[in-house]
Structure 1
Amino acid sequence: MKFSVAQRAILIAAFGMAAVAPAQATDDRAEIQALLARVKALEAKVAKQDAVARRSKAGEAPTLFVKGPAPEPVGEDSFHFKGLTITPGGFIALESIRRSNWLGADINTPFQNIPYGFQPAGHTDEFRFSARQSRLALKVKGDLDPLNHITGYVETDFLGAAQTANSNQSNSYNLRMRQFWWNVDNDTYGLHFSAGQTWSLATTNSVGTKIDSYLTPPTIDAQYLPGFFWSRQPGVRISKDFNKEFWVAFSAEGSAQTWAGTPALISNNPGWVGGPFSSVTTSSALWPAGYAGPFVTAAPAGGGLFNAANNYSFNRMPDFIGKAAWDVPYLPDRKLHIEGFGIVRDFTDRSLWGNQHAWGGGGGGSVILEVVPKLLDVQAQGVVGRGIGRYGVLNDAAISVSGAPLPITERFLLVGATLHPTSQTDIYGFYGGEFQNKNAQYYGANVGGVTRLVVGGYGSPYYSNWGCNAENEFAGAATPAPFTGTACSGNIKDVRQATGGIWHTFYAGPAGKIKAGLQYSYTWKDGFWSYLGGASSGHDSMILTSFRYYPFD
């Protein structure tokens, strides 16, 4: 901390007034220099006291990594430019992950792709080192006037993977935009407006609906864990707070749809079903000749700044989200945060030469409770709806037997606790899961004089699980006679995970923070039961480590 010009002038005047009479005969220049030296000494003393206070607040262990006297502070956490306060952020990370099944994934785990037993990848493990979660961030704050305040924020990492990205020799991965938004706060009416790319309003907040108070599980895995309801996407948001305790907010956010594939033909065996039906088939087998089937995505047109190697879903409108949050004055020394939200979505496909639509959406809520101040926090979240899978790890919708979109009913659950045994250590444990409902469809059809039971929808027991759990034996072959179809075509029923870990801060002071983390997780993936092959399941055991340096904290 340094004294301003005015503060220096006051100190010099005070010292000078105390010595006016006897000092008039002395050399004025020598006296001024002596007074300036005393001011410098006071500045150094105050700066040291500030550094000690900051280290004490951060819980620094001053003897760890530090030999001799503590280093002098190098300056403030922020700097100023044209009336703006600019604060850098981010961290440098080296992380690792070891999986019991090979997924071909970096530090983020696609939990829905945990292999079943028929896949060779399900019988070999995987290890990765990664520095790609290293993060760069910058926050800019300023005052438009005494009652209106503006904030801008950008945050990036290196988890992008362009066509030239590789892990073979150069380990080249591109910078990726995580967040890029601006926000205006009005003190008079408690209004807040933001625009840009940020965490979805549906993501749990820790304070009201503040745009920068999102609460993520403390996992090393960049995909967090199943059951965590989240997205980062562009949009616009407006919110209102009532005395900083009760908040309401509404947002319109960029949308996308993810789709479950349509299983292939199940059986052509007369008598397989019994009763009036002589065979079973999926509706895709009855589509008109030359018809390629419903379209749910398409490649982008050239020149639109989308990657031509990817397909994009048909979007007619944004996702609309509303939320209410209450920061309850539970006890003077404890925190209780409660929130609830609702979401509305639209699904579109192109089927039988026409556009077909379906509405989806749902709602849920979260609770964060400080059970023991500065020692134990617990949190829980639950969400239920139709067509909300992309906010987790599963799909939004399937194709109905008519070719129209069929939003899948899904439930999210997340519970967890974080223990703070010391100011330097956090120990956490979480359980999360995503559970999708079966929505199988059936109807009878006469095709070429053959009465068939046509099946479709999501989770039908007629979809084959014959080869899901046997390595190679059925992987490349059709289901054995008298049945036909693919060896493992059933849909996913649920994905669940139990995880726990520890973070420890080895150093916190004027040079930033040094932290290390260790996480273990066990994940279950289950398919729906089938008449042909029973149930299918996959499992993965993972160990993750992280070593991070936060130079700006």
Structure 2
Amino acid sequence: MKILWGILLGSVALSAGQAFAADDAQTEIHALQARLKQLEQRIDDQGRRQQAQAKIATKAPSPFDPCPAGKVCYKGVTLTFGGWVDFAGIYRSRNLASDTGSVYAFIPFRQSKNFNTPETRFSARQTRFSLLAEADAGADTHLAGYGEIDFEGAAQTANSVATNSFNPRMRQASLEIDRTDLGLHFLAGQSWSLNAPSRVGIDPRAVDAPGVIDFESVPGFLAARQPGVRVWKDFGPEFKLALSAENAATSFVGGNVPFVGTPATGPQGVLNPNLLINLTGPGGSFFNNANNLSLNRVPDVTIKAAWDPRLGPTKFHAEGWVLYREFYDRFNFASHNIGTVSYGGHLALEVIPKTVDLTFSAAQGALGRFTAAPFPDVTLRQDGSMQVLPITALQAGAVWHTTPSLDLYAYAGLEKTRATFSNVGTVPFGYGNPLYNNTGCNIENSPAATCNGNTSEVRQYTAGFYDTVLKGDYGAVKFGVQYSYNQRFAFAGVGGAPKTDDHIVMTQVRYYPF
């Protein structure tokens, strides 16, 4: 019996042990199954992350993505820094007493001592800095604030003697609001004028300017930077229409003062003191009291259309604009005003993709203050009323990207006007009047009164190159050389039609750190 009870008890114990072992195995199986599910979830999550990263890598970068490479982000605002450090060398065969900008309508005639005096200068004043701040104000509303400065300002304290302390100046400062769902854009602030040429669409922050070193660009390039408001609409990806109202100003003959033939009998002597064409700002008005302010009462209004058709790999841009301006003066208790309409257009064509670019611009109208020469806008009649100087401006250019680092360019341009005057006996009025005295224009040191020489036309032929000598994560360093042949022609007067020219060579080293 004892043996039987022992066998029975052993059997029960063995069965219990097997039951406990089975329970432990089942628990381990459940634990392994849970662990396997966790691993599968991790693998799925990793796969989804890799797919998302692949999509981000293949999509075009957006300035509104969280901190794109090369930008700085702060409280939802994306900051893009731009600009360059510049050094230019200047040589002119005629002394213009100018820095990096050549004033073509003031190339001296032989009457001036400057005609036989060359000019050599160095300048770092084209150094420029810019900041673009962008942010989303909603799913379809984008904001962009843009500011730009250089050192081309010249206060009375600026000089080239000891410290060369030329002051910075505001080039641009504007706010842009874009509604992508409506294709509408709004800009307020100082920017390039709407009639300045663009390379693509309506671009308020940049222009399709000739890529030359001379700060005055090439005759035929019409532009200004001024405060105003602008709105434009996208009609599909190719066509845009814009309207702007911009700050107005008038340039009178002689640069905001009437032309003086001779002090005693010329227009100024006859019309003053009862003539008012401009005013100087009072002290504390935030205008320099040495500068004249014209009497404009309405803004300049411009309408512009831009077309960027798709031509396969070739880029093409065409635009046309119409500008309305008004001019004012007051003489002998009466005010005079005259309204004008000017027009122009610009073409930019990539003839061979990424290799050869061509540009062409043309304009006609009262455009004096927009010219590179510069020309005046209006002149005066003997009754104090005004006559508009019509300007014709043409420019053509080509750029050859010979290698990824070397660009060659050539441009030709002209700006011209026609004689605008009224004859009253022996007192000449207007611009280009044949009664003006030009007898001393070709005689060095002759009296100023014997060389009136109203400019009729300026021309330029220029060529040069830019070479990228260094390029990397640190930015780029470029070196350039430009040569231009410049001509100035005057209207015929008593003693003939004088003309002059200037050979200009400029060099440039520029560092683009951004």
| TM bucket normalised to smaller | 0.7 to 0.9
**What is the CA-CA distance between 1:110 and the residue it aligns to?**
1.3
Deviation per residue, 1:255-276 (Å, 9 max, x gap): 11111144556799xxxxxxxx
Give the paired residue count. Answer: 453
Whether 2:365 is the aligned partner of 1:385: answer yes
Counting only pairs closer than 5 Å after superposition, residues 257-272 of structure 1 correspond to structure 2 as 257-261=250-254, 262-264=258-260
Is 2:181 aligned against 1:200? Answer: no
* Residue identity opposite 1:419 in structure 2: W
The answer as to whether partners of 1:526 and 1:538 remain within 8 angstroms in 2 is yes
1:440 CA drift (Å): 2.4
| Counterpart residue number, 1:133 | 126
SS in 1 for 2:441: coil
Instruction: Tell me, yes or no, if the aligned pair for 2:260 and 2:267 is still in contact at 8 Å.
Output: no
**Length-normalised TM-score, structure 1:** 0.78
Inter-partner Cα distance in structure 2 for 1:377 and 1:371: 6
Aligned to 1:338: 318
- The Cα shift of 1:389 comes to 4.0
Partner residue of 1:396? 377
State yes or no: 1:470 paired with 2:432. no
Gapped regions of structure 2 (runs ≥ 5): 1-37, 43-53, 58-67
Amino acid at match of 1:489: N
- 209, 212, 220: which one aligns with 1:219: 212
Relative to structure 1, the CA distance from residue 156 to residue 263 in structure 2 (aligned partners, 3 Å threshold; closer, same or farther) is closer
Give the whole-Å Cα distance in 2 for the aligned partners of 1:263 and 1:149.
49
Shift of 1:214: 1.9
Structure 2 residue 316 is matched with structure 1 residue 310: no
Contact 1:376–1:417 under 8 Å retained in 2: yes
Which whole-Å CA distance do the structure 1 matches of 2:152 and 2:365 have between them?
30
Q: Distance in 2 between matches of 1:327 and 1:387?
A: 26
Q: Is 1:184–2:157 an aligned residue pair?
A: no
Q: Which residue of 2 aligns with 1:77?
A: 70
| Superposed displacement of residue 424, structure 1 | 1.1
Higher alpha-carbon Rg: 2
Matched, 1:412 2:393: yes
Match of 1:247 in 2: 240
Match of 2:349 in 1: 369
Question: Match of 1:191, as an amino acid?
Answer: L
The residue type paired with residue 487 of structure 2 is W
1:491 aligned residue (440, 450, 454): 454
Whether the aligned pair in 2 keeps the contact of 1:234 and 1:253 (CA below 8 Å) is: yes
Query: What does residue 456 of structure 1 align with?
Result: 429
Higher relative contact order (CA 8 A, sep 6+): 1
Alignment of 1:6-45 (within 5 A): none
Deviations 1:464-490 (A, max 9, x none): 111111101x235xxxxxxxxx21113
- 2:275 aligns with 294
Q: Return the alpha-carbon distance in structure 2 between the equivalents of residues 285 and 267 of structure 1.
A: 6
Query: How much does 1:388 deviate?
Result: 3.9
CA shift, 1:303, in A, is 2.1
CA offset digits 1:511-540 (Å, max 9, x no partner): 11111111011110110011x110111211
> 1:436-463: per-residue Cα shift (whole Å, max 9, x none)?
01122124xxxxxxxx455422211111
Which secondary structure state, in structure 2, belongs to the residue aligned with residue 457 of structure 1?
Answer: coil
Name the counterpart of 2:504.
Answer: 542
- Aligned partner of 2:147: which letter? V
Asked if structure 2 preserves the Cα contact closer than 8 Å seen for 1:362 and 1:388, the reply is: no
Deviation at 1:113, TM superposition (A): 1.2
Query: Is 1:257–1:390's contact at 8 Å kept on the other side of the alignment?
Result: no
CA distance in 1, matches of 2:340, 2:369: 11
- CA deviations on 1:115-165 (whole Å, 9 max, x unpaired) are 111000111100110011101111111111111111111110011011110
Task: Tell me the C-alpha RMSD between the 2 structures.
Answer: 2.5
Q: Contact 1:136–1:157 at 8 Å: present in 2 too? A: yes
Match of 1:63 in 2: none
Structure 1 residue 405 displacement after superposition = 1.8
Q: Which moved more, 1:126-135 or 1:306-315?
A: 306-315
Which structure 1 residue ranges, 5 or more long, are not aligned? 1-15, 21-45, 51-74, 269-280, 444-451, 477-485
The counterpart of 1:501, out of the listed 461, 464, 477, is 464
Task: Note the 1:416-455 alignment, pairs <5 A.
Answer: 416-443=397-424, 452-455=425-428
Q: 1:285 to 1:515 in 2, by over 3 A?
A: closer
Change (3 A) 1:380 1:185: same
Change (3 A) 1:177 1:282: closer
* CA distance in 1 between partners of 2:308 and 2:243 (Å): 18
Check 1:263–1:319 CA distance in 2 against 1; reply closer, same or farther (3 A cut): closer
- Name the residue aligned to 2:339: 359
Q: Does 1:349 align with 2:329?
A: yes
Contact 1:207 1:213 in 2 (8 A): no
Q: What is the rounded CA distance, in whole Å, between the counterparts of 1:172 and 1:284 in structure 2?
A: 37
Within 2, Cα distance between the matches of 1:160 and 1:76?
34
Measured after TM superposition, the shift of residue 387 of structure 1 is 4.8
Comparing 293-302 with 123-132, which one deviates more in the overlay?
293-302
Is the 2:345–2:362 Cα contact (8 Å) retained in structure 1?
yes
Distance 1:118 1:293 in 2: 33
Answer yes or no: is 1:122 the counterpart of 2:115.
yes
Deviation at 1:352, TM superposition (A): 1.8
Secondary structure at the aligned position of 2:115 is classed as helix
Return the letter of the residue paired with 1:469: N
SS at 1:174 equivalent: coil
Amino acid of the structure 1 residue aligned with 2:301: F
Aligned AA (1:520) = Y
Partners of 2:110 and 2:443 within 8 A in 1: yes
Instruction: After superposition, give the CA deviation of every residue in 1:47-90 in whole Å (9 maximum; x if it has no partner).
Output: xxx9xxxxxxxxxxxxxxxxxxxxxxxx9310111111111111
State, as a whole percentage, how many aligned pairs show the same letter.
37
| TM-score, length basis structure 2 | 0.84
